[in-house]
Amino acid sequence: MSEHIVSSYDNDLQGLRRRISEMGGIAEKMLVDAIAALLRGDLPLAQTVIASDSRLDILQREIEESAILTIARRQPLAVDLRETISAIRVSGDVERIGDLAKNIAKRALAIGGQLQPQKIAAGVQHMSDLVLAQLKDVLDAYAQQDTVKAVDVWRRDGAIDALYTSVFRELLTYMMEDPRNISFCTHLLFCAKNIERIGDHTTNIAETVHYLVTGENLAIDRPKNDRSIDATVGAGA
């Protein structure tokens, strides 16, 4: 390869990294703001979150197109090829994280600032704090190509699943106590589920970082602590 081609290729990669970093920043902010909007009943903030999502969609399209163009023009091999493929995968996960945060913001609008029991709000906040830390860490792991940090994120997801199960159980109890709680608790059930799924996307990104650095896939089965499916039955029995 001539120096000119190498440098064009580096420019391509830097463009991909820069856009993914921008996507990560937007997704983090959307999650923080969506949870704040939900728990404080801040409707203008919820609107802001919803409006931010289109930028993520545009960036994801740009990353995909640019990665495909890079593969077609530069025909990268080995780690360079993996980096291009990884950019496509990571941008897909971050875009989905934005969708899930947007859905939380929509539900914040729907609930419209209705007060929630402090215990449930605390559980949702705690879930969201854990997931946000995962998201920051995995985006750092991606930027630094740090597979140790990525595997750490991948293992920590179990704690979020366990917390989700406990929030889920409390919400069901609360719905059974008073039918007037059913409507907004249903929104909170889906919000909690969305946060748990954002956690799953951070583990996907962790798997991509591992693949990018090592060329190997992590084991397909990750230990899961999500017992919410059984919990529902327990609570209803």
Q: Can you give the binding site for a second copy, defined by CB under 8 A?
A: 54, 57-58, 61, 68, 71-72, 75, 77-78, 81-82, 85, 88, 92, 103, 106-107, 110-112, 172, 175-176, 179-180, 182-184, 186-187, 189-190, 193, 217, 220, 229-230, 232-233, 235-237
Contact 32, 52 (CB under 8 A): no
Which of 37/172 has CB closer to a second copy? 172
Q: From residue 170, how far is each of 37, 111, 122, 225 by CA, in Å? A: 21, 18, 11, 17
Buried b (16+ CB within 10 A) or exposed e, 68-107: eebbeebebeeebebbbbbbbbbbbbbbbbbbbbbbbbbb
CB of 118 to a second copy, least distance (A): 20
For the bound state, the minimum distance from the C-beta of residue 92 to a second copy, rounded and expressed in Å, comes to: 8
- Cβ at position 49, least distance to a second copy in Å: 14
User: What's the CA dihedral at 107, 231, 166, 220 to 10 degrees?
Assistant: -90
Distances (CA, A) of 56 to 20, 51, 114, 130: 10, 10, 29, 22
Name the residue nearer to a second copy (CB basis): 88 or 137.
88
Residue closer to a second copy by CB (options 149, 186) is 186
Q: Closest distance between a second copy and the C-beta of residue 138, in Å?
A: 19
Looking at the Cβ atoms of 137 and 184, the one nearer to a second copy is 184
| Residue 122: both structure tokens together | 């605390």
Measured CA to CA, the distance from residue 46 to residue 63 in angstroms comes to: 27
Nearer to a second copy, 103 or 116 (CB): 103
State the minimum distance, in angstroms, from the CB of residue 57 to a second copy: 5
